[in-house]
Structure 1
């Protein structure tokens, strides 16, 4: 199952309103000022586990200004492969953590459990047993058995915490003189297997609080202690490479010299195959090779570049950090379930290109039914090709954290808007210092806002246009003149796309009559109407949504109805469904955008033929 959102109540700086984090199916980025609460959001989610309730220490992290208690609700939905496997229709699931006793289930997973006849029959059979005749008369044991059975009664509304251990205890406690012991054990095993299967649908959460770096060398005596720490970065390195503890022991302790050499060669091959090959796919700044040596009971790691070997400690801090997070993330894929990676400020030690490659690593992870949520202040850690996955976090007056569904929200306070949006603005092109900003050679197109950006990007994808168009969404039509002023100063080529409406006319007036009259040649309207007629623009407005046919809007679960509340939701759903090829667009929509793209001077022969 994939997570679609978290509702976090009263945890640290987070209150009981504006506290829902919408999560993308693949990668979600959180941006905001320092101390805005981004890390608190990751921490609140990162300390969760679907197989246990909230701890007392978690509940003690209460927002001091809140009247309610700490709780968190996780909203999930099935992957398509799960819908196919279990032959079910989509139904969202909510998992509620409200205290330190139970984890509540509602929705799709509850229905899945309830519809499993084999599971329900096995539970009913166990519940009908006479407790004392099956498990004896010991009062303490009877109390535990009763508690375990009560959990089975509530199996469709509560997670059966530590289910394998509990069911194992029930099997072990059955008295030897109970005549149907084997039949009962079979029923308990059915329950255990079913719960294991269904609970494995729930993702695991991996919260990376710190970023320990892989060292250049490890003494064997220290390694023997490190084996007891499963999350130690050296253990993660071994796990990612597929190296066992026994192999390390044999590499140092086997009394036969030839055997030691054999296992050491095997270890080297595993590192090359399982780490080096994948690492070089993403870290293309230079091709590197990993070499390990076993010297005087010390495990040493070397990095080779252009046949020059250097001790890992001699390489840059950025490369070491990247290797460490790479092997740590890689090692987490061993579980046969999806993972949600929570990363606080990843890439802080990396140079620009390495940060971009980290985004590629995130996307690769997401292809394996995983999700990544990370915080950042860096423009390089935002994918300028798709900024719809960015969420803005702000701390408002009174100290509470506010979560916005997008970074382009007009409700962001003015005093924090510029700092909050700084990495986003830089990523999409408000500073030429960054090589992912506006281009001096590409066509820059300024749109009124994020919804225009989403529709345009979706249609460029749909029509398979091989274009160098660089879309820069403004935070509202009235801010376009500010972006234009900067681009003029930098000598960038650009065009401006305005809605053919009252707001579009007002900005047109500012641009042409107050800023620079030559800008008239750079302004386009979504209607492709070359004539600016004030009265017509006010009485018969045309927006980017006007280019979408009514039939295509009907294909959305939240179609645009003219209201501001449906505007971004419809644009986001349209974007995602078009990019993921989940809907077939009508010729009317395709033709309207083809006309617009021709007006923008994306060459006509680059546009794909209208799809039947």
Structure 2
């Protein structure tokens, strides 16, 4: 059974969140500023679980109405057939067919812990099967036993200890240290074997095999250097003293073997994060889980945050739905903006959830967009404000610098009301176009002429149904650098006229690895200074600016 969407009423800062539809790829991201209410949304979902209750502390100060949370589940036929209903067999069969035909149902939980179907569905069931409200609510409660667990993480502070005595421990449930439970779960170590096998060589080999198992998977997701080393091992060693057998836990690199607490705070966090999520994923593998994570990776630098996203994508989301909150652009894939929901705390309305393509002129909406804009490779300074009336979407930052240099110069000038918006590559363009469409803004697209651009052009015109007169494909070459003549390119861009570019190479091929650097230098050199272009260069760039001007004529 899979969650499709949710709506929260009267929970802390939330009066009515509005419906929040979850992403189809099992990862949904709640993005927004601090104090927007992202944590409150996750905690409300946590409290929807059958083992939790809504407390009086969750009631908002500005409303006398009680907490209520609604979730729509997509029904699986096999799960419906396993419902244990205390009723006549014929009635049970008819009820199962009713649910299967529905395909989805909305279950709500009201303060403190009462489950029921939403009112319209409940009334339909009572009428269809001549049942009273109590019996129908009992069906809702039974159905909840088959929904995925809500597993909430708001910190990953449980660190593997230096030493752990096996002592009288007979099973995992006897262990109080969560990090040790997680390690034993993920590495599949047998506690009894560790306690009773007295052959140190055999135990050493046994631990080596299981250490290799956990290390191999961990290093698939942790790609950072530790103390300058890019390969580490997560290991457990069994030792003995007067108090009996115990395990030592180490993080080992080619030069040293250290306790986890001796490693960086970021590494400690990621190790705890990995063990916690993998252990819960294993434990909840049969019925599944909805994994709720509050601000993952806040201690990590950008590249390590991308490792967090990779772990969620490859190891957790294939089996479980994931909902996490963030205001970090590094946890947002610019090619998967369908995952993102904006969380905004608005005066008199409380916390609400919105899609990024919703049209909203409020300042808090623009602030909430910050991590999304950054993820798409855009500077969020005023010059890249995406709420302009007229917008020109460009493939990359080099396009922005070359066109920005000329936009105010004689023969090329365009209105200051027109915004040039650089993307993080051609594949980011459709997402920005979707936002423009949703916001009702005017826009045009300027694209290269290469295979990737051809692919995106087809997507824009065939899937998003954009008129081809809104798209300009560069003429005179395949990329923006090819708009310069050879002479102007070596003189003004490379700034070394002794260089001769082979006739079988385009300008863009020659500077493939230095595009951003050269375009920024060109911008810095000529934005506020005179520039002399030859006729070939003028002709190519004038076509671009004429397209822009003509596109936004009143």
Give the TM interval when normalised to the shorter protein.
Answer: 0.5 to 0.7
1:517–1:28 distance in 2 versus 1, CA, 3 Å = closer
1:313 aligned to 2:261?
yes
Task: Decide whether the 8 Å contact of 1:208 with 1:342 is kept in 2.
Answer: yes
Query: In structure 1, what is the Cα distance between the partners aligned to 2:380 and 2:368?
Result: 19
What corresponds to 1:293 in structure 2? 237
1:11–1:106 distance in 2 versus 1, CA, 3 Å = closer
1:217 aligned to 2:162?
yes
What corresponds to 1:276 in structure 2? 215
What corresponds to 2:520 in structure 1? none
Task: Decide whether the 8 Å contact of 1:27 with 1:372 is kept in 2.
Answer: yes
1:94 aligned to 2:143?
no
1:95–1:516 distance in 2 versus 1, CA, 3 Å = closer
Query: In structure 1, what is the Cα distance between the partners aligned to 2:159 and 2:419?
Result: 58
- Which ranges of structure 2 fall in alignment gaps of 5 or more residues? 83-95, 225-229, 406-411, 424-431, 442-458, 480-554
1:598 to partner: Cα distance: 8.2
- 1:497-544 Cα distance to aligned partner (Å, 9 max, x none): xxxxxxxxxxxxxx953339998xx9xxxxxxxxxxxxxxxxxxxx97
Query: In structure 2, what is the Cα distance between the partners aligned to 1:231 and 1:593?
Result: 61
What corresponds to 1:459 in structure 2? none
1:365–1:294 distance in 2 versus 1, CA, 3 Å = closer
What corresponds to 2:151 in structure 1? 206
**SS of the residue aligned with 1:287?**
coil
What corresponds to 2:300 in structure 1? 350
1:432 to partner: Cα distance: 9.9
- 1:264-320 Cα distance to aligned partner (Å, 9 max, x none): 5323422322x2222122223323222222234442222233464333222221112
1:265 aligned to 2:205?
yes
What corresponds to 1:21 in structure 2? 20
1:104 aligned to 2:116?
yes
1:293–1:97 distance in 2 versus 1, CA, 3 Å = same
Query: In structure 2, what is the Cα distance between the partners aligned to 1:544 and 1:422?
Result: 17
Query: In structure 2, what is the Cα distance between the partners aligned to 1:8 and 1:518?
Result: 38
Query: In structure 2, what is the Cα distance between the partners aligned to 1:337 and 1:231?
Result: 25
Task: Decide whether the 8 Å contact of 1:20 with 1:403 is kept in 2.
Answer: no
1:150 to partner: Cα distance: 11
What corresponds to 1:402 in structure 2? 351
Q: TM-score, normalised by structure 1?
A: 0.56
Query: In structure 2, what is the Cα distance between the partners aligned to 1:326 and 1:293?
Result: 20
Query: In structure 1, what is the Cα distance between the partners aligned to 2:216 and 2:467?
Result: 43
Query: In structure 2, what is the Cα distance between the partners aligned to 1:544 and 1:224?
Result: 59
Query: In structure 1, what is the Cα distance between the partners aligned to 2:466 and 2:400?
Result: 32
1:31 to partner: Cα distance: 1.8
1:566–1:309 distance in 2 versus 1, CA, 3 Å = same
Task: Decide whether the 8 Å contact of 1:227 with 1:245 is kept in 2.
Answer: no
Query: In structure 2, what is the Cα distance between the partners aligned to 1:7 and 1:277?
Result: 40
Q: TM-score, normalised by structure 2?
A: 0.61
1:429 aligned to 2:369?
no
1:565 to partner: Cα distance: 10
**SS of the residue aligned with 1:257?**
coil
Query: In structure 2, what is the Cα distance between the partners aligned to 1:227 and 1:298?
Result: 18
1:73 to partner: Cα distance: 0.8
1:402–1:9 distance in 2 versus 1, CA, 3 Å = same
1:234 aligned to 2:188?
no
What corresponds to 1:599 in structure 2? 473
**For residues 354-503 of structure 1, what are the structure 2 equivalents within 5 Å?**
354-365=304-315, 367-398=317-348, 400-411=349-360, 413-414=362-363, 416-431=364-379, 475-478=386-389, 480=391, 491=401
- 1:572-601 Cα distance to aligned partner (Å, 9 max, x none): xxxxxxxxxxxxx99966997899888268
**SS of the residue aligned with 1:158?**
helix
Query: In structure 1, what is the Cα distance between the partners aligned to 2:404 and 2:47?
Result: 47
What corresponds to 2:42 in structure 1? 42
What corresponds to 1:61 in structure 2? 58
Question: What RMSD in Å do the two structures reach over aligned CA positions?
Answer: 4.9
1:101–1:261 distance in 2 versus 1, CA, 3 Å = same
Task: Decide whether the 8 Å contact of 1:282 with 1:360 is kept in 2.
Answer: yes
Task: Decide whether the 8 Å contact of 1:19 with 1:402 is kept in 2.
Answer: no
Query: In structure 1, what is the Cα distance between the partners aligned to 2:414 and 2:281?
Result: 59
